[in-house]
Amino acid sequence: MCLQQTPVAAEPKSIHLQIDADARLAAAVGGAARYFGDAAGLENAAIAQLQAATVSACVDAFEHLTRENPRLDVTLTRLQDRIEIALSHEREGNKGADPPANLDGIDNVQHESRGSVAVTLLTKYVAKRNSSR
């Protein structure tokens, strides 16, 4: 019998979470952002800022959740040159999400509506590593 190994990515490229409005769950999302920042080679100060901004954005988004749609969808994605954190939730009427207050450590914030869903996209750019070292 021959066992063949299946190649698997060594680190996750994307994590999708669906969370209730609970600060402990926002902290868990912040921990995931911290992991992505560390894996991308960010410095400790930048990692801490990314984590804090992610938690802050989640807590801010919790204010827009409703009884009918009580969950926040969060997708963290590690791309070659950036980390993207998408926060989305069902909108109530035409009311969209307001920009989160404190987002030090985030390079770009985009707000958009996709039908009845409000989406906030946080982007943190990472410097490319010098491969000649």
Domain definitions of the chain by residue range = 14-125
Q: Residue 58 — left, alpha, or beta (φ > 0 → left; ψ -120 to 50 → alpha)?
A: alpha
Name which of 33, 3, 19, 31 is nearest 70 in CA terms: 19
3-state secondary structure of 11: coil
pLDDT confidence band for 11 (50 / 70 / 90): low
pTM: 0.83
The β-bridge partners of 84 are: 77, 123
- Joined tokens for residue 48: 């801490």
Q: What is the pLDDT of residues 79-116, one digit of tens each?
A: 999 999 999 999 876 555 565 655 888 999 999 988 99
Kindly tell me the sign of the dihedral angle through the C-alpha atoms of 125, 99, 59, 12: negative
Q: Under CATH, to which class is 14-125 assigned?
A: alpha beta
End-to-end CA distance of the chain: 43
Beta strands in 28-81 (DSSP E): 71-78
